[in-house]
Amino acid sequence: MNNIECSFPAYKRIMDFGIYKKILDVKRTISNVFLYGYISNDQEDEDGEHNKDAEILNWAVDTHLDSKRGITQQSQRAKNILLLDQKLINSNKLSHENEKFFLQYSSFLTTLVLGTEKIDPSQYGFSSLNQLEKAVASFCIGNPELIKSYSDNYFWFNSKYKNEISLNLHGDFFVNQVNISDPEIEKRNLFERFIDFESVKEDPPGGGVSVWQDSSQFHLALLKYAQHLGQEKMHEIVDWREVLEETGSFGANTSEGFGGGSFYDHRMDDKIMVEGEKLKRFPLTIDGRYYGGEGAFYLPYITKENDLHFLKKYDEGSIEIDLGPQKMNFATSLKFTRKDLPFLLRGTHMLYTRDKSILPQVINAFSKNLKTK
């Protein structure tokens, strides 16, 4: 199945118009239909809880069989729900491969979330029912972490990217982003003006950084970026313990070998690469791993616009940088602005790997280094 994401214009409306809260009200049902790959027709589950999906399915059957109703929005939604049910019954695929049907026949999730009454899309900021339904479906498919009771990953969204910081089972540290931007275009028909955009992003482009066993270099790059911006006293740095209490802490508390870790203070002298500046020594870099296990080399890079990019060493990359002894080619893996910095710090602190005792070591060394300047 293609990677399905909700576009930012759709995401913003889901959050701003209260749809997300309604999604949380039925999160158990959504998780179950995705997990098992079918709509239940049992009125109660094995725990004696009311099956909301069975209620929606029964409504669809009754509405479809009501000959007096005629063709209405609700009858069309009911037909769409029954087509989804039939697709799921006939499918021999694994449950997660059936998620595409929930996008193709998106009335089920929207009816589950917003109810069986007639829906006015404009009340939720959408110009059509189809636009609204695709938004709800793609949001639920693309953001399973956001409809859980808790999440051990850290997410945030901006107008262009969906950003995620996560750990794998071994505690390896990943930072990823996908481009979910979509233009909002004002159009008009015979009756009104409206805003048009795509609700769904299929296989959106993106990038990532895998720093493998040690996130201290990535962490240091964020601190150096804050210092460059004159924000070294920001809440997420000075009050990092308080922030950690807010986010919680996930992952291993010591290194994989149970020998603990260490942070070398001399790294604090490494300068972060800034566009247009010439360095006298090799800049701050990050050692990591590509997803296939091959070694990776990343360069934190501050642009002329004061954005923070993470560049990946790539022989065929279009970005050539003079690093002193030699020139290297890079490709951009991640792009952040100063607005992303608080989220980056929160997520990195929350998911620090692998030895969390290194976190205060880095903060203390950074603060000490500031005082000596």
Q: Is residue 28 part of a domain?
A: yes
Identity of the residue numbered 16 = D
Please give the pLDDT value at position 291. Answer: 52
Is 90 in the same domain as 228?
Answer: no
Task: Tell me if 38 sits within 8 A of 88, measured CB to CB.
Answer: yes
Residues 212 and 141 grouped into a single domain: no
* Whole-number pLDDT of residue 262: 55
Q: Which residues of the chain have pLDDT under 70?
A: 1, 44-48, 93-96, 148-151, 251-266, 289-295, 325, 372-373
Same domain, 228 and 302: yes
Can you name the residues that pair with 208 across neighbouring β-strands?
Answer: 176
Which of 132, 148, 164 lies at the terminal end of a domain, its last residue?
A: 148
* 126 shares its domain with 214: no
Range of the domain at 264: 208-371
All residues at 6 or more sequence positions from 271 whose CB lies less than 8 Å from its CB, including other chains = 224, 279, 281, 283, 284
Contact assessment for residue 155 and residue 172, using Cβ atoms and an 8 Å cutoff: no
Whether residues 14 and 137 fall in one domain: yes
CA 129, CA 133: separation in Å to the nearest integer?
Answer: 6
Query: Is 176 part of a structural domain of the chain?
Result: no
Query: How many domains does the structure of the chain reveal?
Result: 2
Tell me the per-residue pLDDT of 109-143, one tens digit each, with 9 for 90 and over.
Answer: 999 999 999 999 999 999 999 999 999 999 999 98
DSSP code at position 50: B
| Cβ atoms 353, 213 nearer than 8 A | yes
User: Does residue 134 share a domain with residue 10?
Assistant: yes
Same domain, 360 and 249: yes
Burial 305-342 (b: 16+ CB within 10 A, else e): eebbbbbbbbeeeeeebebeeeebebeebbbbeeebbb
Buried b or exposed e, range 223-259, using 16+ CB within 10 angstroms: bbbbbbeebbeeebbeebeebbeeeeebbeeebeeee
Q: Do 212 and 347 lie in a common domain?
A: yes
pLDDT at position 289, please?
Answer: 65
Query: Residue 167: what pLDDT?
Result: 87
| pLDDT, position 224 | 96
CA distance linking residue 331 with residue 49, whole number of Å: 51
DSSP readout, 185-200?
EEEE-SS-EEEE--SE
155: in domain: no
Residue 161: inside a domain? no
Are residues 217 and 350 part of one domain? Answer: yes
Residues 252 and 138 occupy one common structural domain:
no
Could you tell me if 47 and 136 lie in one domain? Answer: yes
Residue 177 lies in a domain: no
List, in sequence order, the alpha helices (H) in the chain. Answer: 8-16, 19-25, 27-36, 52-65, 73-90, 99-104, 107-114, 129-142, 216-229, 235-238, 240-247, 341-350, 358-371
Burial class (CB in 10 A: 0-12, 13-18, 19+), 301: buried
CB 287 within 8 A of CB 297: yes
Is 144 a member of any domain?
A: yes
Choose the final residue of a domain: 122, 148, 174.
Answer: 148
Residues in Cβ contact with 342 at an 8 Å cutoff, skipping those fewer than 6 apart: 234, 235, 236
Residue pair 11/4 in contact by the 8 Å Cβ criterion: no
Prior bond to 13 cis, omega within 30?
A: no
**205 Cα distance to chain centroid:** 13
Considering the domain architecture, whether residues 115 and 230 belong to the same structural domain is answered as no
Torsion angle of C-alpha atoms 335, 340, 341, 342, degrees rounded to 10: -160
Let me know if residue 348 belongs to a domain.
yes
Which is nearest to 305 in space by CA: 342, 334, 333, 337?
337
Q: Are 59 and 107 in contact (CB under 8 A)?
A: no
